[in-house]
Structure 1
């Protein structure tokens, strides 16, 4: 092997070959990273759209939950009023029964 002609090439040819290999490697690296950035950008845009839809859905769910809470509170108030009325009627019924029993005992 001749030191002035390694692998049968002149030094200028070897420099050209290594430069060509370097340029091809740099281009491949650039193409891969550019494709990765485009893919990441596309995925990020899809994720952003999905999050926006999820946010809209959560707003609607919160509105429905607030409506249900208001309905439940209204129902609870009505139930409390009905229970109060039933208690009053029970007391009146007990008084009437007591009055009837007292009249029966007098007879």
Structure 2
């Protein structure tokens, strides 16, 4: 009876450690609205972020958060797919001034 209890407690401890490690992994999500729709749905990988664009909407996903600023993330996307009218990542939206900076040099 004591052995079964120890096995059960050990299993619970292992599960707790696994859940803890999973929750520490930072995932990334971003959204962008394009000024001009893409001709066909597309997928572009930029700095480990997979951006899927359809019409005027792009959604970015990654298992890890990038180290660059939001404005730089936006700029790299704009260079790849075209001008952006709105950009959100890490729970924050870029300001109009930052969007203007983002679009510098975009298609």
Query: If the length of structure 1 is used for normalisation, what is the TM-score?
Result: 0.33
Larger radius of gyration: 1
Higher relative contact order, chain-length normalized (CA < 8 Å, sep 6+):
2
Structure having the higher strand fraction is: 2
